Amino acid sequence: MLIEAEDTSVDTVQDWETTMLASLKTLDSPVKRLYDMRRLNGVSIFALRTAVKLKKHPQAKHVFAAVLTNNNTVARLVNTALAIQPGGNFQLFSDEKEAVAWLNRMVP
């Protein structure tokens, strides 16, 4: 699944949360997600809180997520959000080919 983020407005984040919660409820095996955040210059606090909340979901253990960003601010914010709740299968990348290769190694 490819998720392209162009903004982290409340409406966008709420839509993403609804979609992800519905998806998480059905998971019983590993899945791959590629989050393309290269168009973002920043991330809203609402988006960070939502990401932490979704990461706490019991089925989140099945999600292997590669996050693409070329922006240092976005990378720091994503790392901060992920550090709040250690563990999980998330990795930051700046190169799409590396991100896809990592996802394919994690979930063949």
**More confident: 102 or 85:** 102
Question: How high is the pLDDT of residue 52?
Answer: 87
Question: How high is the pLDDT of residue 77?
Answer: 86
CATH of 2-106, one of 3.40.50.300, 3.30.750.24, 3.10.129.10, 3.30.70.1140: 3.30.750.24
pLDDT tens for 59-98 read 988 999 999 999 999 999 888 877 776 666 889 999 999 9
pTM of the model: 0.88
- Parse the chain into domains and list their residue ranges: 2-106
**Alpha helix stretches (DSSP H) within the chain:** 10-25, 45-55, 72-84, 96-106
Question: How high is the pLDDT of residue 80?
Answer: 81
* Distance in angstroms between the alpha carbons of the first and the last residue of the chain: 14
pLDDT tens for 11-44 read 999 999 999 999 999 998 999 999 999 999 999 9
What does the alpha-carbon distance between residue 54 and residue 17 come to, in Å, rounded to a whole number?
Answer: 8
